[in-house]
Structure 1
């Protein structure tokens, strides 16, 4: 599970890099380029539907594990160190890093993105304080508190009913529990960026957190699909086709900051919600089954990347933006710019982790004190 969490975090670098070449985001993404790619648009839209749901499933699993091993108090103590403290420390630093990146781009880049042009205009509308890409830490803290609340309630029968449900029936029914959250949202295609908790995000991502929490008690669902996961994967791809076709119906009001999504009509919204619910659920199960089959071994490289992944995710966006801002004035196609910005960002993050973080108090805060990778 820890290796899966690491992969999901590192994939975030490639997801955010792809947004610069996604035509649907050209009017609002900070480093949106004039060169665009349909392949990268489909890649980022498909990835975004299930990347964070899997992360919250894994988080729910580890929360249940911590409670079993250390008790509720021990879980809160651990999460205070690993989640709350990094958020409090890095959020203001990242706010400054974003601000510096924007100022540099506005003053030095000739071929500015639409959002940079808007920022550079006299009397440009002011934005709001954002959680940025650390929004997931903020919502994890909410879910930890809700875990304590729900453990005080007599919900054992409901939990047992879900655990004992026929796995094939579960895979068809559980996505329906995501519909209320998606119905309240402006479609699941954005992060939860405001400090005011959003009900749809709590309902939608909270369900995946709850799935992961329950999954710790029983791996019956994963065991059932151990051999048939390719069928789930193919089903998810089939459902993704109409979902990705309908995504362009979601648009933005570019004259407002923060940008507001314009809802599609219900004849598009209802099937889109259903597609998102099933793709997110199916891909979450596929990811968990595949991870269980191939990522559970004691691999030194994966262990190291798992340790580094938290740092990589925390710091990657300002670095990525600076590289992509520079690329706005450079020649090259979308594929080249995507690969260059992605791997350059990943390399810088890894080097900084090796030289500055792993053996420092920052590394201890994020992952605990590390033992040597190879020891006698």
Structure 2
């Protein structure tokens, strides 16, 4: 059979069975919140990075024994140290609480406890003795550079349990261990007594109260109690110098951890902080100068409320600002967030030696600080990339291994060279 154009018309074949109508698509379940929040990751890295700033400022503070305090720079270093202490560790503990509940709700309490043991408790007991021994060596170097004829006191003899008594700048890991145990025990009791659903409703309501207008004052209450307990607010909450349990330290940082925990329990808490960050940062900028004026001479009954409110206003404002500014994330931000834990653990011996050597130059203190940062931070990042990121140490500290950036760039360069050789194309170099 042909058509008018002469083309053959295909003969009709057997009738195909009708195609079944597909069922209507079922709505996708609501997506769970992302396990990585770029803004909070970056903020956690900033909190750890500010610790490096504090330790490099310490030699310039009034009354230091390492350097001769500069009469102009020492007061500025004291003010900067006081302001950073206002919010840095409170912010870090709040973020630890937020991410802690996130991990627990996804993996369960047992997996969460194992993860914290591996990444917090074990590093504390592995790195603390190494840091303490390096500090003893640095003190000996400082003594010799000063020309001090008196030797350092002899070290204790016998079984070196004293190596584990002083966590040095890793004291926050010891406090985190205390907080983890306390929170898990209290949570288990509440769930056993009230039930899981009722406990979740209570946490949701408490999280909602924390982000109401003025809720920052509720978050600041444990901080206020801690400052009143210790009787001073000059450098924030006093850190433990040994593996002890301090009432003021545990009150403040357990309270901050619980605030972060409850903020995670409230789905819209972060969006509310994003909307209110200008008000919170504005309050921080108003209260902080008042705290600086009062910290040395003001009564604790006035200084403590001002300091606690200023510290938590910084926390709320920075969380909202970073979530808004870094909502999309970036590879560089994630890299710095991943490296921050190792960089903080390893920084103290390197920065201390660099500053002791730079002190002999006679440069202005500000130039010595900038030179120490410019020298040490790149070296610490390179050590992370080569020794930690792609090794078992990276899996231990960060939970997983990542490909080192330097190795990735080398592979890409080799790939481009191989491709150029295969195509016979040579790169053109300017003469």
* TM-score of the aligned structures, taking structure 2 as reference length: 0.74
Partner of 2:49: 10
Would you say 1:178 and 2:217 are equivalent positions?
no
Partner residue of 1:143 out of 179, 192, 213 = 179
Residue 178 of structure 1: CA displacement? 2.6
CA distance in 1, matches of 2:313, 2:121: 30
Partner residue of 1:242 out of 275, 290, 297 = 290
Q: Which moved more, 1:300-309 or 1:221-230?
A: 221-230
Q: Which moved more, 1:320-329 or 1:283-292?
A: 320-329
- How many residue pairs get aligned? The number is 347
Q: What does 1:71-82 align with in structure 2 at a 5 Å threshold? A: 71-82=108-119
Q: Per-residue CA shift, 1:301-358, capped at 9, x if unaligned? A: 1111112111110011121111122233221112111111223221221122122222
Residue 21 of structure 1: CA displacement? 2.3
Q: Which moved more, 1:38-47 or 1:191-200?
A: 38-47
CA distance in 2, matches of 1:324, 1:33: 13
CA distance in 2, matches of 1:331, 1:370: 43
Partner of 1:43: 80
Runs of 5+ unmatched residues, structure 2: 1-39, 157-161, 413-431
Partner of 1:164: 208
Partner of 1:200: 248
* TM-score of the aligned structures, taking structure 1 as reference length: 0.84
Q: Per-residue CA shift, 1:212-256, capped at 9, x if unaligned? A: 01111115444234233222212112111121122334xxxxxxx
Question: Residues 392 and 401 of structure 2 are in contact (CA less than 8 Å); yes or no, is this contact kept in structure 1?
Answer: no
SS at match of 1:227: helix
Runs of 5+ unmatched residues, structure 1: 111-116, 250-266
Would you say 1:94 and 2:139 are equivalent positions?
no
Partner of 1:34: 69
1:99/1:125 CA distance change after superposition, 3 Å: closer
Would you say 1:134 and 2:170 are equivalent positions?
yes
Residue 73 of structure 1: CA displacement? 0.3
1:67/1:192 CA distance change after superposition, 3 Å: same
Higher relative contact order (CA 8 A, sep 6+): 1
Partner of 2:28: none
1:339/1:33 CA distance change after superposition, 3 Å: farther
Of structures 1 and 2, the larger Rg is shown by 2
Residue 74 of structure 1: CA displacement? 0.4
Q: Which moved more, 1:203-212 or 1:12-21?
A: 12-21
1:368/1:158 CA distance change after superposition, 3 Å: closer
Would you say 1:70 and 2:102 are equivalent positions?
no
Would you say 1:283 and 2:314 are equivalent positions?
yes
Partner of 2:424: none
Would you say 1:272 and 2:303 are equivalent positions?
yes
SS at match of 1:153: helix
Would you say 1:298 and 2:329 are equivalent positions?
yes
CA distance in 2, matches of 1:60, 1:272: 27
Residue 139 of structure 1: CA displacement? 0.8
Residue 121 of structure 1: CA displacement? 4.4
Q: Which moved more, 1:269-278 or 1:3-12?
A: 3-12
Question: Residues 240 and 279 of structure 1 are in contact (CA less than 8 Å); yes or no, is this contact kept in structure 2?
Answer: yes
Partner of 2:379: 348
